[in-house]
C-alpha cells in the first residue's frame, strides 16, 4: 500500500507544494465520513450494554465510535503515507484531533467537566502529532524550556501539562472502575442489598488508594521529601478530618452490622422517614413531606435511633377515641373494630384490637390498635382514615363523642353577705 500511495503521489504533480497536502486533507475527510457511516451501523448493537453503564454512555456512544473509527482509519493512512512530508503532517494532525476528541467524549461520559478534559486532550494531540512527524523529543524539549524556578526545583509547562493530564486520566479511570465494579457487585446474586452496598463502598476506597499510589509512581514524586513535616501535617490533617474519618468508619460499621439499611424506616430526634442512601459522610433520610435530611453517620452510632423495620416491618399504630358515658359500650367497640378492619392499609393479621383505657371527665377513653406493614407510607394517614370511618359509623348508630363541659358561676350567682 505504501508503494501504491507513493506511485499515486509521483503521478500527480505537486505544483507549489499544495496538491499533495490537499490530497491528504481530502483523504482524511473521506475517512472521517466513512467512520461516521460505520458508527451509525455499529452503534445500535452496542447501545444495550452501554445503557447499563449509564445514560451518559449511551447518549455519547455514536460520537465516541465515530472518532474511534476515524482515528483507526486515519492512523492506517498515516502509517502508509510517505514520511517527512506536509501531507504526512496533515494526516498526523487529523489523527491527533480524532484521538483528542475521542478522549474528550469518553471523559465527558464520566461526568468530568469540560475544562478538566482539555489538558489530557491537548497532551494526546501533541503526542500523536509529534510522534508521527519526527518524534516527541523536539516538542518535549520546547515545552520544557518554558517554566519558572521555585527554589531548587524548576516547574515547566511540560511538567504542569503532564501532572494535569495524569490527574485527569487517573480520575477518569477511578470513575470508570467504580461504575464497572459497582455494576458487577449489583448483579451478584449471593449478596443482599446491604452487603452489596458495603462491598461497593470498600471497593471504591481501595480504588482511590490504588490510584493515589499509581499517580505518585507515574509522576515520580519522592515521598521521602515530605518526611520532615509529615508528622506535623499528619497531626493537622488528623485533627481537621477526624469527623470525616469518624463518619466514614461509622458508615462502614452500620453497613457491616446491618442495624440500619437502605429502605428502613427510622426516627432520629425529630427526623422521621425512610433511609434512602448510606453515604460516606451521612445517611440520607427522606421524610413524608419529601424533605431529605442528611444525618451524619456518627450520630446514628452515638444517639438513640428508632428503627421501625429492623427485624420486622410490622408497626402498631395507636388511635385514641372517646365516647359518651350514655353510649352503648359494646356497640361502640364493635364499630371501632369494623372501622379499623375496613381501612385498606390495616393488616388482617395481626388483627385490630380495641382497649378500654380509662374513664375521663366527660368520656370513656379507648385505644384502637392496628398494625401496618408499610411504615414508609406514614402513620398519620392511617389514623385519619380510621377516625373518619369511626366518625361516620358513630353518627349512623347514635354513638356520641362528647366534648368537655365546664360550669361557670358568675358573681351574681354567689350568695350575698348580709
Give the chain's domains with CATH numbers: 2-135 (no CATH), 249-307 (2.30.30.60), 315-396 (3.30.70.100)
Residue 55: how many CB atoms within 10 A of its CB? 10
| Of the candidates 250, 277, 252, the residue with the CA atom closest to the CA atom of residue 285 | 277
| Strand partners of residue 384 | none
Using CA atoms in the order 157, 159, 164, 166, what is the torsion angle rounded to 10 degrees?
Answer: 150
Sheet holding 271-278, edge to edge: 292-296, 282-286, 271-278, 265-268, 306-307
What is the model's pTM?
0.49
Q: For every one of its 418 residues, what pLDDT tens digit does the chain have, with 9 covering 90 and above?
A: 444 555 455 555 555 456 767 878 888 888 888 988 888 888 887 776 666 666 666 677 888 888 889 888 888 888 777 777 777 778 888 888 888 888 888 878 777 777 777 777 777 787 777 766 655 555 556 666 666 666 666 667 767 777 777 787 788 788 878 877 877 777 777 666 766 777 777 788 888 888 888 877 777 766 665 555 555 555 655 665 667 777 777 877 777 777 787 888 888 877 788 888 877 778 888 887 778 888 888 888 878 888 877 777 788 889 999 998 888 889 999 999 999 999 998 988 889 999 999 888 888 999 999 998 888 777 888 899 999 999 999 988 888 888 766 666 665 555 555 5
pLDDT value at position 391?
Answer: 92
Give the integer Cα–Cα distance in Å for 45 and 337.
60
* Distance between CA atoms of residues 135 and 105, nearest Å: 26
Sign of CA dihedral 157, 163, 167, 173: positive
Instruction: Measure Cα distances from 55 to 106, 171, 258 in Å.
Output: 13, 20, 31
Cell of 376: 414508609
Q: pLDDT at position 7, please?
A: 47
* pLDDT score, position 417: 57
- Give the model's pLDDT for residue 390: 92
Amino acid at each position: 500500500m505504501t508503494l501504491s500511495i507513493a506511485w499515486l503521489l509521483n503521478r500527480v504533480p505537486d505544483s507549489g507544494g499544495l496538491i499533495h497536502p490537499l490530497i491528504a486533507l481530502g483523504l482524511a475527510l473521506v475517512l472521517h465520513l466513512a467512520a461516521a457511516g460505520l458508527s451509525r451501523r455499529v452503534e445500535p448493537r452496542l447501545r444495550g450494554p452501554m445503557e447499563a453503564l449509564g445514560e451518559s454512555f449511551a447518549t455519547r456512544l455514536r460520537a465516541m465510535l465515530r472518532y474511534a473509527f476515524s482515528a483507526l482509519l486515519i492512523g492506517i493512512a498515516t502509517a502508509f503515507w510517505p514520511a517527512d512530508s506536509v501531507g504526512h503532517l496533515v494526516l498526523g494532525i487529523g489523527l491527533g484531533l480524532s484521538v483528542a476528541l475521542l478522549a474528550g467524549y469518553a471523559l465527558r461520559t464520566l461526568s468530568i467537566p469540560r475544562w478538566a478534559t482539555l489538558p489530557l486532550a491537548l497532551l494526546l494531540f501533541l503526542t500523536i502529532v509529534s510522534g508521527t512527524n519526527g518524534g516527541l523529543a523536539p516538542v518535549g524539549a520546547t515545552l520544557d524550556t518554558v517554566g519558572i524556578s521555585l527554589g531548587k526545583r524548576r516547574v515547566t509547562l511540560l511538567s504542569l501539562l503532564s501532572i494535569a493530564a495524569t490527574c485527569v486520566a487517573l480520575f477518569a479511570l477511578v470513575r470508570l472502575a467504580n461504575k464497572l465494579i459497582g455494576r458487577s457487585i449489583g448483579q451478584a446474586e449471593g449478596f443482599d442489598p446491604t452487603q452489596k452496598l458495603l462491598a461497593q463502598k470498600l471497593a471504591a476506597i481501595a480504588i482511590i488508594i490504588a490510584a493515589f499510589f499509581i499517580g505518585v509512581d507515574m509522576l515520580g514524586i519522592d515521598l521521602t521529601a515530605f518526611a520532615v513535616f509529615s508528622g506535623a501535617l499528619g497531626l493537622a490533617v488528623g485533627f481537621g478530618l477526624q469527623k470525616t474519618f469518624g463518619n466514614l468508619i461509622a458508615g462502614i460499621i452500620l453497613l457491616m452490622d446491618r442495624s440500619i439499611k437502605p429502605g428502613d424506616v427510622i426516627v432520629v430526634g425529630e427526623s422521621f422517614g425512610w433511609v434512602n442512601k448510606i453515604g460516606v459522610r451521612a445517611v440520607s433520610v427522606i421524610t413524608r413531606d419529601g424533605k431529605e435530611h442528611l444525618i451524619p453517620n456518627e450520630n446514628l452510632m452515638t444517639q438513640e435511633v428508632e428503627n421501625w423495620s429492623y427485624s420486622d416491618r410490622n408497626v402498631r399504630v395507636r388511635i385514641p377515641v372517646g365516647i359518651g358515658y350514655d353510649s352503648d359500650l359494646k356497640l361502640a367497640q364493635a364499630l371501632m373494630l369494623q372501622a379499623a378492619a375496613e381501612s385498606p392499609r390495616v393488616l388482617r393479621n395481626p388483627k385490630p384490637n380495641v382497649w378500654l383505657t380509662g374513664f375521663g371527665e366527660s368520656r370513656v377513653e379507648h385505644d384502637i390498635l392496628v398494625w401496618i406493614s408499610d411504615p414508609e407510607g406514614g402513620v398519620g394517614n392511617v389514623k385519619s382514615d380510621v377516625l373518619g370511618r369511626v366518625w361516620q359509623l358513630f353518627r349512623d348508630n347514635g354513638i356520641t363523642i362528647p366534648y368537655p363541659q365546664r360550669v361557670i358561676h358568675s358573681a351574681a350567682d354567689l350568695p350575698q353577705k348580709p
